[in-house]
A and B are shown apart, each in its own frame.
Chain A
Amino acid sequence: MLKFIFRRALESVGVLLCVSLITFYLSKAIPGGPFDQEKKVPEAVKKQLEAYFGMDEPDWKRYLTYTFQFPSLPSTKFPNRRVGEMIASKFPVSLELGAYALIVALALGIPSGILASLKPNTALDYVPSSLSMVGICLPTFVMGPLLVIIFAVQLRWLNATGWENPSDKILPSLTLGFYYAAYVARLTRGGMLEVLNQDFIRTALSKGASMVSVIFKHALRGGLLPVVSFLGPAAAGLIAGSFVVETVFAIPGMGQEFVKAVSNRDITFITGLVLFYASLIIFFNLLVDIAQVFLNPKLSFKD
């Protein structure tokens, strides 16, 4: 087990290094620099600016500073702010949004998926299943504005923008969470159907165990495996989704910041942010992999 964790952790470090290389060269290849303005900047000024940000150094040296010291680098657009500070000031908002969305997704998705799997092809199955199809086909950028029309414009129950009061946070979390709830419900249904058809469930039921205890003690552990493995990509997806949701609801989070940084060609901030998110995703995937082995010990022996 320890050996498995160690090997996966080592792999993750390797992957992260590759990602950092790709990021570096990609952000270097973007046309236009952070110091280009409508008016042409004098060559000497540009040279000096570039020297200040270490952009005249050889590639390998730049790569090393950009990759390993990014939190302490100044932003190329706002030189008096450090990349690390900028991330620290905006990221908690995105994290909070993502966490709420994940809670919504699991709290809605798992129960409805279980319900659907108990009586397949009945109303109990069709209603959650078609609802989740709707959820998958209404991407966040349609869902969000629709919710705004209904709850903020027509009913005037909730605020359409902002991120201060608890009531501001309901619509964005629902918007982002509902999309993933749909996937979670589908995966739970599939996983549970697979497990519920197996012999050990029949055995447990024939021993006289109640359906409820069979579901919670025996079936869920296997039935939720697809959901657990989905959490890795979902974490990455939540980031993308939060870009849109932050735009729709005017939430001061990371997503808007990234799009702005890209159009500003704020190189240090772009590379820092990508690396930050990449390490987050990779770390989360690592956790998911380990959790999967705990749920299904057969996996660690398979290479």
Chain B
Amino acid sequence: MSETNVIRRLEAAGLPPQLSRFGEWADRHFKWVLVAPAVLLILALSIYPLVYSLVVSFINFDFQVPGHAFVGFKNFERVIADPVARWSLVLTAFLSFSSVAIEFILGFAVAMTMMRSFPGRGLIMSILIVPLFISPVIVGQTFTLLLQRPFGPTNYVLSALLGNEVTISWLTESPYIYFSLILADVWQWTPFMFVILLAGLTAIPPNLYEAAELDGVGPWQVFWSITVPHLGPMILLAITFRLLDAIRLFDTIFIMTGGGPGTSTYTASYYLYTIGFTQFHLSQATAGSWLFLIFTALVVVFLVRRLLKAETN
């Protein structure tokens, strides 16, 4: 029903006489009154801070240097020139792409095994989604408990399985440290892929499979010619959503490695956090976060928008 239509019908029915002046005003601007609280909150605590940080990034706002002079692009140049900043960006890309790739493959495989009903399926479903409801800090803490020497059982179990002594410092030794971080991420977020892909898989009309079976089509061909094309938009959506969250990686870094050893596990978020909140180079941090924001905004504007249009229409 169009808006004018609603008004016409309201007038035809006669607005109830007990409406106060405020009530009348609110009824006339009803649709804007409804969006006002949410929009005002987002403006105050998200848009205003973004503008604020843009201003800060062009001036000198550094607890170690007095004054607030306009410095142009100097803060941006400083971030771009910082080798740690560039390393953190590379590491963020590496960690998020590897985690998401593994989560996708594993999640897809598990979703395929859960397509048909079998006894205990409901219980297994409930178990598999549990990691989604756990704080990433606790996931980091959990894997610290599992991996840290000498407390964690990992090296003992590996030694027993492989037959010779394993003494790996999973949380302080490169490259194992990256493996540990990816492992924690995979544990927590594979269910995300699994749940979305399973919903996609079960939405494929079963008669397509029945027809393929009658025609004697092999399982691989069924997979490539029925499953994958039907699942396409869902796969894109799951990967995009997951990637946009994965590039924020901070909590597990904070708990498991503290960015160390040295700066070897600095992700973009962790780098900006240390610059801003432990070294108090506020301007440099805001400049860096704007660069990071532009980077993610491009993905959101081009990919997410198109995805949701496709899904909602």
Q: Decide if A and B are genuine partners.
A: no
> Which residues of B pack against A, CB within 8 Å?
none
